[in-house]
Structure 1
Amino acid sequence: MSSSGFDDALGIVEQLKKSVETIVAKTGPSSKFSQDLVKRIGEMQSKLESLADTDKHQFLTEMKDKFQHTIGRIEERIAQHAHIAQTYSSSILTAVIFLLVSVFALFGYKLYKSLTEKELKKQEKLKSKQAKKAKKSN
């Protein structure tokens, strides 16, 4: 392999390593996806080392575009999952706020109802006292 071809191979491998490190950092090292990705890359590296120099160059040129496309799709999926997680957490927050407002509204309604009942009883008691006074004075 020529010096330029070897440099291309190293550049591709370094770019792949950086992309994998980013993906593993985002998904977590213990995720099945990360473990599967690392395993596949190891298998491809073994295959690359077993090829002849001319086959290595051809293999690398074919795989470069595939890697870039795959990494782009993976980054899109990670962004989608991050958006879903953000939506999920905001939904939970909205539900909790709704629940708190509902509880306060229920207690407010009960307090209002209790106060109005007390006021009605007080007025009825006053009316009955006035009616008794009116009967005594007659």
Structure 2
Amino acid sequence: MSFSGPNDELGVIEQLKKSVEAIVAKTGPSSKFSQDLVKRIGDMQSKLESLAETDRHQFLAEMKEKFQETIGRIEQRIVQHANIAQTYSSSIVTAVIFLLVSIFALFGYKLYKSLTEKELKKQEKLKSKQQKKAKKSN
């Protein structure tokens, strides 16, 4: 990978800044990781400005690939954390739904039991009335 001049250097720096801004937006500007990342980028930019032209090209060529790999790993970790958070949220929703269904099932069972007991008492009452009638008529 070769660079033709300062425009390419600025392009690499701009790409890096955009990537860092995206990472900071995902992790939050007050996170220690974001602050450390911004500080390191600033240190590298000042080092880049202090290098000679030939050294600058070589430094940019080496660092561009390393940055792309590092940013790729960071994005993978962010996606993994997002998936874990989504799974956690889904499990909480599932637990709440299970709890509500269990409560409805309990109240439904109690209502069914109560209604069947009332029906049995009615039938027993009716039988006892019929037996009293039968005894009176004999």
TM-score by length of 2: 0.89
Shift in Å, 1:110: 0.6
Identity rate, percent: 86
Which position in structure 1 is the counterpart of 2:109?
109
Structure 2: gaps (5+ residues): none
1:8 Cα offset (Å): 1.8
- Number of residue pairs matched? 136
Give the Cα–Cα distance (whole angstroms) in 2 for the partners of residues 106 and 81 of structure 1: 37
- Greater CA deviation, 106-115 or 37-46? 37-46
Stretches of structure 1 that go unaligned for 5 or more consecutive residues are none
Cα distance in 1 for partners of 2:39, 2:131 equals 94
Structure 2 distance, partners of 1:40, 1:137, is 106
User: Aligned partners of 2:54, 2:80: CA distance in 1, in Å?
Assistant: 40
Range with greater deviation from structure 2 (3-12 or 27-36): 3-12
Aligned residue in 2 for 1:77: 77
State which drifts further: 48-57 or 60-69. 48-57
Q: Aligned ranges for residues 5-44 of structure 1 at < 5 Å?
A: 5-44=5-44
Q: 4+ runs of 1 displaced by more than 3 Å?
A: none
Query: SS state of the match for residue 4, structure 1?
Result: coil
Instruction: Give the letter for the 2:46 counterpart.
Output: S
Distance in 2 (alpha carbons) for counterparts of 1:29 and 1:11 = 24
